[in-house]
Amino acid sequence: MSFAAMSQNGADRRAHVPVMAVEVVELLSAPDPLAIVDVTLGTGGHAAAMLEAAPRARLLAIDQDAAALAHAREVLAKFHDRVTFVQANFAEISPLMREAGLDRADAILADLGMSTFALDDAARGFSFRLDGPLDMRMDQRAPLTAYDLVNEEPEAELARILRDYGEERMPGRIARTIVAARRRHRIETTGELRALVERAIGPRRRGGVHPATRTFQALRIVVNREMESLEKFLRDAPAMLAPGGRLAVIAYHSLEDRAVKERFRELGRRHSDRNHDYNNLTTKVIKPAQREIADNPRARSARLRCLERRPS
């Protein structure tokens, strides 16, 4: 049964619908992969689609979120010993693959979006729509939380974070409002932070985007060192491809997509990178179809790019 048919029949409703699953499978299942690495497993939707499409393949499944991994184990249980699960950050793809006995991969996927599983859990503190603690850690073992940033960073640094990582248009106004509020009492919850952002720049949505969206994005990126991890992953992952292997990345905001686009363009232009040659297969970015966006509004900002290591 195809992944599309599986979704339509409602099989495994516990897993959220992965973004551009059809396009990902088309890119990564040709040629027939034997070794697949999903470095941001989430709840396993893309992984299930790829394993269905490549019945001989084995999967190294990586995610830093222990709760997501536990859920994905149930989703992927039917694939039994074809899957190896690892809790880790995708920035460490090279040592993680070596530890799993993989010298090279035929297909590598990184979906940089927040999983619905984590986003809809108020206790994780990722969403301004749900009141919960200011946490935002993808890996609960990490020491830094959004609470620490909001309550400890100087005003100028808060403004920089909002500007650089949230591309917020009024970072100074939001930072001043936060600092003034925390002088009275510590800011504990996502609801409190949302209210402060609305107080600073107004409660109205701009172009359908809630005014707190950029602030929450910026804090989450810094808490989880997302851009540093992505940059290291983009440096190391291409060299881990087998000849003819492909690397696909789905980005959801301009900071991520710009980094992926520039790295893939750089490798595609070079004649050689440590003796490895690459093709940039997506000189024009792939976006979700309007039908998918209608069915899954969270897909609207997704951008898919793919790099191929040239066959030897």
- Angle between helix 226-236 and 213-223 (nearest 10): 60
**In the structure, what pLDDT confidence band is assigned to residue 270 with cuts at 50, 70 and 90?**
low
106: helix, coil or strand? Answer: strand
Q: Does residue 12 surpass a pLDDT of 50?
A: no
Q: Which pLDDT score, from 0 to 100, does residue 117 have?
A: 79
- Mean pLDDT in residue range 184-196: 98
**In the structure, what pLDDT confidence band is assigned to residue 271 with cuts at 50, 70 and 90?**
low
- Mean pLDDT in residue range 13-31: 82
Going by the DSSP 8-state scheme, the letter that residue 16 receives in this structure is P
Of the ranges 103-117, 195-209, 230-244, 282-296, which one carries the lowest mean pLDDT score? 195-209
Q: Which pLDDT score, from 0 to 100, does residue 275 have?
A: 52
Phi, psi dihedral angles at 84 (to 5 degrees): -115, 125
- Greatest Cα pair distance, the chain, in angstroms, is 64
Averaged confidence pLDDT in the chain? 91
Q: How far apart are CA 162 and CA 136, in angstroms?
A: 15
Q: Does residue 24 surpass a pLDDT of 60?
A: yes
Q: Which pLDDT score, from 0 to 100, does residue 276 have?
A: 58
Q: What is the pLDDT of residues 86-114, one digit of tens each?
A: 999 999 999 999 999 999 999 999 999 98
Domains and CATH numbers, the chain: 3-117+226-309 (3.40.50.150), 143-223 (1.10.150.170)
